[in-house]
Structure 1
């Protein structure tokens, strides 16, 4: 009886830490105490000393971290592979591989592999832009130089391995022509139609620097061709190769100097046109933040580059068969069709910036990409071919060299005024159509023809 009275006395006596309140409040407190008393032995048994010091929080923190990491992975996959509308073309890559092994029809393999590489090239440019947020402008410029034209470089290296030197030369030449005529022309045309009541203005000094580098590239490509076709070599077939390798090293040095000039000593050169508007644009357009983390960006760069490498192998293998099945010259496929695949990202971004009246960025995308290919990618391929033992040189034949020379002159005259409108864009597009028609009826000569 005494134990029952003591227990009743404890139940009627309020807890010292609980204030007097309603009967419901006291019942809630008692129920919570019972739950804690019942669950505490389990916690002490399972966690030991950790439970006595931290309680059940390590369980919740570990679960929360793992859940957050899974959500981060799903978010990154959504941003890179699902969010952009161009990713609807991603299944074309696996479809091209299936067609290669099931049907062997090179025309369809070439078509679907081209469609599959297009979104990968655009996503590779996006990942490079995201990584530039963490590396700064100097390293970001180097990343844009390497990954911006990674698709062309990968296709060229695969073609070099198979000894398809003419395909390498023509595809790189086509990338320059596509950027300078088609991409820049569409950008000028779309921007001129949006701002039809005025001429758009860009930095003429930066355009002159790029034009000078393009003319230097034309000089490096022109001399081996002239040396070969005028039969003025000391050692026929060897002198032009030695000259090409020497000129390639000089062009690579010039491009590195250009990067230092643009990113270090003259950083304000591309931004000197609209200095009055910079303060207004910083509040609205320049407040961009990265959407994925640095490690995620590096992982995506590796994944996208590997997948582009795989598809490029099937694309290069299908070029000759596609030319025969479609009755289209290999020169037309290499100069016109392949560069459109590799320049998908540049094409879209150049038009977008032109419609926002940011022609300095448009020129950096279109003309800057042409400068990268002519002064970096082409000499790089010559050096890689040198290491592979392949006779890759700068002799692009007379027809291709003359086309490049005339194109650089036309674009240089278009840029000398520092203004752009829809008529200039239309002229550049029409010039590209003439070039495309010329390569459609052009028969690529053999290596022995002079």
Structure 2
């Protein structure tokens, strides 16, 4: 009887060593490789200061610094996952997880009854994405490709502009109803209208996802670039981590952002008093800049690679998602919690949003970009920031 040699079996020690090496490599790439991760220790420091000193100003400041690298790393992990899902789903994932920071902060603030902070931070996210993020992307791309006209898919931009105008309509009517004193039941009619409009906006956003991912996928195909340029980009773009590692890091980073957001929200009022900065400025300008760190980095990077369709998918797609999904979702969550969260963002904020959407829609109508368009959007954002620095929120006195 002849005995065949048995098939060699990999020793468990080798498998464990391989898994350990992969884990160490993944930790190095995600947590140590990027220079922005130098800010990561500020998160634990903020929590330590919260319990040791109780100085809300410093807790807020260090929490803000600690969330910046987490938001950027969320964007990185989403970008890595997009290599395995394709560009359209990848852009949607980038916008979704890019907005995870704002969404978590909003739910914490809503749980604490800070409705105005929720409204203003979400409004600020829309303004930041449409003016600052898109402006910096157009400016950077225009400088890098100075002798070339950068183009993008105008049809997809028009669809997003239409959704943003619909969101403005949904937010504007409760404010107009309130300030014209034409409500049937004062204080109740605008809340009922807000909840009804939020449900309609959620249906519209779900229809938009079906339109984007299923029925009209070809509409969102990027405009063909030059062949040589595409080959160079394909050589550079290789995923650094596996899709399971990306999913794991998304989960870990989201949990850590959730923990840090709780301390950040608790310290907002104390930081306003300590630094003598209006709560409106903190909510509309500072919080969104931190929350949009992922979109900011991704949009500029893609614009410099002459991939403006992905840039618009990140910046304008994120604004569309916040206005048509996150804001209505917060209204519904507030309804479940018993909090009177509505779409009445007050007259000043609503007018700012309306003018911003018109300016950006005008910039996108030609389907081209350059550094001057980007500069104009950045300067518009500076005007908005200065306006909120001198703006007194009337609802604070009313509450």
Question: CA-to-partner distance for each residue in 1:280-321, whole Å, 9 max, x for gaps?
Answer: 455332364433233322222221111001100010011000
Structure 2: distance between partners of 1:272 and 1:132: 15
Range moving further from structure 2, 310-319 or 417-426: 417-426
Do structure 1's residue 79 and structure 2's residue 18 form an aligned pair?
A: no
Judge conservation of contact 1:185–1:424 (CA < 8 Å) in 2.
Answer: yes
Structure 1: distance between partners of 2:238 and 2:200: 38
Structure 2: distance between partners of 1:338 and 1:448: 22
Change beyond 3 A, Cα 1:134–1:430:
closer
SS at match of 2:11: helix
Partner residue in 1 for 2:193 = 243
SS at match of 1:395: coil
SS at match of 2:184: coil
Judge conservation of contact 1:137–1:263 (CA < 8 Å) in 2.
Answer: no
Matches within 5 A, 1:245-284: 245-273=195-223, 275=224, 277=226, 279-284=227-232
Structure 2: distance between partners of 1:153 and 1:216: 21
Change beyond 3 A, Cα 1:276–1:191:
closer
Structure 2: distance between partners of 1:245 and 1:127: 34
Judge conservation of contact 1:175–1:343 (CA < 8 Å) in 2.
Answer: yes
Residue 134 of structure 1: CA displacement?
4.0
Partner residue in 2 for 1:95 = 45
Judge conservation of contact 1:141–1:263 (CA < 8 Å) in 2.
Answer: no
Do structure 1's residue 407 and structure 2's residue 356 form an aligned pair?
A: yes
Residue 374 of structure 1: CA displacement?
0.6
Structure 2: distance between partners of 1:68 and 1:197: 48
Judge conservation of contact 1:193–1:422 (CA < 8 Å) in 2.
Answer: yes
Partner residue in 1 for 2:314 = 365
Partner residue in 2 for 1:158 = 108
Range moving further from structure 2, 204-213 or 289-298: 289-298
Judge conservation of contact 2:299–2:315 (CA < 8 Å) in 1.
Answer: yes
Partner residue in 1 for 2:174 = 224
Partner residue in 1 for 2:279 = 330
Change beyond 3 A, Cα 1:136–1:357:
closer
The TM-score normalised by the length of structure 1 is 0.83
- 1:301 equivalent among 241, 245, 250: 250
Judge conservation of contact 1:218–1:405 (CA < 8 Å) in 2.
Answer: yes
Q: Alignment RMSD, CA only? A: 2.1
Partner residue in 2 for 1:390 = 339
Structure 2: distance between partners of 1:331 and 1:96: 22
Judge conservation of contact 2:150–2:308 (CA < 8 Å) in 1.
Answer: yes
Residue 272 of structure 1: CA displacement?
5.0
Partner residue in 1 for 2:326 = 377
Partner residue in 2 for 1:14 = none
Partner residue in 2 for 1:10 = none
Structure 1: distance between partners of 2:92 and 2:149: 32
Structure 1: distance between partners of 2:247 and 2:170: 35
Partner residue in 2 for 1:182 = 132
Judge conservation of contact 1:190–1:422 (CA < 8 Å) in 2.
Answer: yes
Partner residue in 1 for 2:147 = 197
Question: CA-to-partner distance for each residue in 1:139-193, whole Å, 9 max, x for gaps?
Answer: 6565445322100000000000000000000000000001111111111112222
Structure 1: distance between partners of 2:55 and 2:121: 22
Structure 1: distance between partners of 2:122 and 2:379: 21
Partner residue in 2 for 1:38 = none
Structure with the bigger RCO (C-alpha within 8 Å, sep 6+) is: 2
Structure 2: distance between partners of 1:423 and 1:294: 38
Q: How many residues align?
A: 395
Partner residue in 1 for 2:389 = 440
SS at match of 2:113: coil
